[in-house]
Amino acid sequence: MKYIAPSVAFFAAAVSVRAQQPLYAQCGGIGWSGGTTCVSGAGCTKLNDYYSQCLPGAAAPSSSPTTPSPSTTGSSPAPTGSSVLPFVGGVNMAGYDFSSATDGSFKDTSVDPPVNQFSHFAQQGVNIFRIPFAWQLMTPTVGGPISSTFFQRYDRTVQAALNSNPNAYVILDVHNYARWNGAIISQGGPTNAQYANLWSQVAAKYASNSRIIFGIMNEPHDVPNISAWADSVQAAVNAIRAAGANSQVILLPGSSWASAQAFPTEAGPYLLKVTDPAGGTSKLIFDVHKYLDSDNSGTHADCSTNNVQVFQTLVNYLKSNGNRQALLSETGGGNTSSCFTALREELAFVKSNFPTLVGFTVWSAGAFDTTYILTVTPNPDGSDQPLWTQAVRPNLP
């Protein structure tokens, strides 16, 4: 979870290169200029030409992990096993969600994300963008038709993202916390049919584009009946497929703010039962979030954990339940030294656990200014935030 609040200024201090890289940190790869040795008990292991990582008990790679190259973008690992996606790494592009409250209400202060940011990030290797929107913008009346005025705005942004990279994916994310104006879907609020109607209409618009990913709800929270929420998720999945969008990935969100930590014990057992009318489960990927500050709120500049143990537990759970997959669609930190380290280690762990963890999108760029507490918005001169350069960019595909 995160809030749009008055922000504070941060220093852009450079992080000194450590003599030994910590567990799960990057230690090599094309273009890497940091440390190449690992702490005791870990070895620098080559995962691909662009990425080597300090893994427990691992032996050092047989070839040098620091092969020089002019390339800055790398290449995505190819899909493995049942994965229908390559490894994806990218960023949220906020704006159409501005003033979406956690009770599902909305005051229209939406802003179009700057389209020039898509090419800026794509040139660095980003191959996925998440574009949130308020449900009330897309269908001003619950269960009603799409607003053609808003859809034109939104689609221009989506197309800019798709056009930034021939292999770019775009997550369409309805940012309403499983609610409409304070009432929970199918639990006192909109019916499952009204919720499914939203996705039936949106899916029909993008049915022919396999690089669209449907993020069917941002951060459900305080949901009394999680089994009933799984039924709502199933209704959205059915509607998307019935609209002819059969090739696309659908992201299934859990409970407790889509918590990666809570997933195995809360929503996971219910969402595992959601079926795909298009066949199989490889295009149903679980949508999880995890921040790194002291209360997991994404409202503090400092990071207190790298979340590696949380994601190891999640990986174990997914592997033991049919080798399912999850995508970390929100995580982030402040432009502080603690977050440079913790976020870099978290994203490195995600990358090393593909295809179980299929990728990430950090929060957030887009219409946020450069003083927002979790900003990765580029500076006016085109330079990037230190968090982006220190933690995110080294872990892009």
Catalytic positions are: 219, 330
Question: Do the beta carbons of residue 87 and residue 359 sit within 8 Å?
Answer: yes
Q: Look up residue 191 and give its two tokens.
A: 């019916």
Pairwise CA distance, residues 41 & 20, whole Å: 12
Other CB atoms closer than 10 Å to residue 12's CB: what's the count?
A: 15
Residues 6+ apart with CB under 8 A from 303: 292, 293, 333, 334, 336, 338, 339, 341, 342, 343
Pairwise CA distance, residues 289 & 329, whole Å: 6
**Quick one: how many helices (H) and strands (E) in the chain?**
9, 13
Cα 93 versus chain centre, distance: 11
Pairwise CA distance, residues 276 & 268, whole Å: 16
The phi-psi region of residue 97 (left if phi > 0; otherwise alpha if psi is between -120 and 50; otherwise beta) is alpha
Q: Look up residue 163 and give its two tokens.
A: 């056009």
The phi-psi region of residue 41 (left if phi > 0; otherwise alpha if psi is between -120 and 50; otherwise beta) is left
Query: Using CB atoms within 10 A of its CB, is residue 81 exposed (0-12), middle (13-18) or buried (19+)?
Result: exposed
Pairwise CA distance, residues 215 & 318, whole Å: 19
Query: Using CB atoms within 10 A of its CB, is residue 40 exposed (0-12), middle (13-18) or buried (19+)?
Result: exposed
